[in-house]
Structure 1
């Protein structure tokens, strides 16, 4: 057994609060879609429920949930509304990793208020950071900053000039220029805008190495590092939207039961629904099985093997692909109801948008296949690829 702290588990209190918010989130979803961001009542309710502190280390007053607990939270909120689930997962990840990895001075500034801060931004496309006495000067433009309209700080990846090290920089929202160009097919209420930062000085304590996997505070979940923790986010989101798609289609069919020529009397529909349900349940089981194994490893004081890192990537890629198949079946079965503006159409569009994320893309899938086939001996995962 390692001396590294075991996983922290907080129980079901936050999950129960997330479930209680479903009626509010569903009522506000259409308005949020129109506004291109979550509504103030939903953001306030998420704050009041403590959900933005789900990932924050316990020493900073956060819940520091385990991977399984986080998966359940994101599944529940996404079931209520995929955009709400997406914003919460993104900001919670960035809140949690900032709390675990930033220096003491930064943590004292950022986490001192009565409310948990909201940190939003982009960690995959990089700006440039020029070293300067006591920190770095940050410049760049980033895309897909989910939840930025609600944030007090930005989380931005940049390459350090002269060393090529990739670091994450946390800057006050006042230093950010929001470009506001969020005109997209789905996940419209996430407000995942582009933004820029121009020559802002960032103190040393307000940045950390992208690849850091040894926390300054908090327990074993932070030993996963930023990228592997992000896989929890998207896995939980896929669990929620996939389940909601199938439940909405079942309700649609049942409401038309007994009428001649309707979906409920179609043998082809019955067969298609059974196949969609089986595919989604199988993909969900792979997610849960894989993360259960991760939790056991972390509890034992270990770090993930290459094969485990392959499997968490493969499980996410598989459930994302499955959800897009399910969404296509639901949309095709929904007839004119799905064609018109409404929940089924919105779920279909959100599923396509979520599947476009880089973590669920083809590069990781190819690398998973290479490792599983025994063709990557001596290599390890670095972000989305295997390197010697």
Structure 2
């Protein structure tokens, strides 16, 4: 079967040597349960962990359109590397809401990388001696082993409110709880905090109407940004899977076995399978284009309305945000349907732990379990 073409294939955003490195290092990364030193070196050299960090703090400050395209590309290249980029670079976006002195301190190191959780997993109480007592446990902190700071949401009883917090590594106890079938090297471990700290803790609030850094990137709604970037990651993995399926089928031509001399004919189900493939390919292409358009529309609206003080209450801003959310959910569903409906046609190669297609399937199934993309929300 001839593989359909992809308009603006995500591979165009990556150098060939990057793709080769990420994929060749993947088996070793799975054994380690985290990205390899060579993979991480590429992240640091290219500044990928700082993709959404404000430029004034040494970040790249990519536009949402740029980062969504790159999310898809790196997810296509290698699942765990893509997942680490998605979650860790996404946390760098919080730099737009930090005190400038704090932000410079956190992001100035070349190996600065944030890991964390959006769950309200702990409590923070200020003591009479000026210290803070932090207690809690948070799950799924992607990239935890190589993080330079950790983010979390905590409840402050004295103020009866939830705030985000930055925690230094010394306050964090990483727990090796990441035992999934896929995205193994993303090292999305849990972490526990039970400490008294006077320095190194930084509270902040995410409010697109009042970012510390006055740039359009930080006036975007966090929900839409999160859904768009994660859905783009799914898209990259789903494309990689469909490409591997096409390659697997292409190898199923008439073959003469060297010992028996018998000829293996192409399976009788191939015609029906190809129809399923083409249908899902078309649906994926349409859903992908819809997300890219929605992201561009939201971004353009924010860029032209930077002077509006209360964007979060603006009707068109909310409408554009909802369009991104709906498009992300639609793309997620299209990717899930494509991968799940093509899986039965991949045979035992598709289920093998040591096959390329099997790894992509495992990575996709793990990532698509993200709480933001539960069907029917």
TM-score normalized by structure 2? 0.86
What SS does structure 1 have at the residue aligned with 2:220? helix
Name which one, 1 or 2, has greater alpha-carbon Rg. 2
The answer to whether the 8 Å contact 2:221/2:321 transfers is: no
Alignment of 1:171-186 (within 5 A): 171-186=167-182
In structure 2, distance between residues paired with 1:66 and 1:52? 14
Match of 1:318 in 2: 330
How far residue 264 of structure 1 moved from its aligned partner, in angstroms, is 9.2
Aligned residue number for residue 46 of structure 2: 49
Q: Deviations over 1:168-206 (max 9, x none)?
A: 111111210011111112211111111101134365971
- Secondary structure of the structure 2 residue equivalent to 1:21: helix
Partner of 1:299: 303
Cα deviation, 1:312-334, whole Å, max 9, x if unaligned, reads: 22222222222221111332111
How many positions carry a matched residue from both structures? 349
What is the aligned-residue RMSD (CA, Å)?
2.3
The CA distance in 1 between the partners of 2:241 and 2:35, in whole Å, is: 21
Q: What does residue 70 of structure 1 align with?
A: 67
Q: Report whether the alignment pairs 1:109 with 2:105.
A: yes
Relative to structure 1, the CA distance from residue 201 to residue 229 in structure 2 (aligned partners, 3 Å threshold; closer, same or farther) is farther
How far is 1:228 from its partner?
3.0
- Residue in structure 2 matched with residue 337 of structure 1 by the alignment: 349
Q: Tell me how far 1:257 sits from its aligned partner.
A: 3.2
Contact kept, 8 Å, 2:91 with 2:114, in 1: the verdict is yes
What secondary structure does 2:123 align onto?
strand
TM-score, structure 1 as length reference: 0.83
SS in 2 for 1:305: helix
Give the deviation of 1:155 after TM superposition.
0.7
Q: What residue ranges of structure 1 are gaps of 5+ in the alignment? A: 1-14, 367-388
Partner of 2:116: 121
**Structure 1 residues 103-112 or 284-293, which shifts more?**
103-112
Consecutive unaligned residues of structure 2, counting only runs of 5 or more, are 1-11, 256-263
Residue 190 of structure 2 aligns to a residue whose secondary structure is strand
Q: 1:16 to 1:284 in 2, by over 3 A?
A: closer
The 1:177–1:213 alpha-carbon spacing in structure 2 relative to 1, beyond 3 Å, is: farther
Distance 1:360 1:96, change over 3 A: same
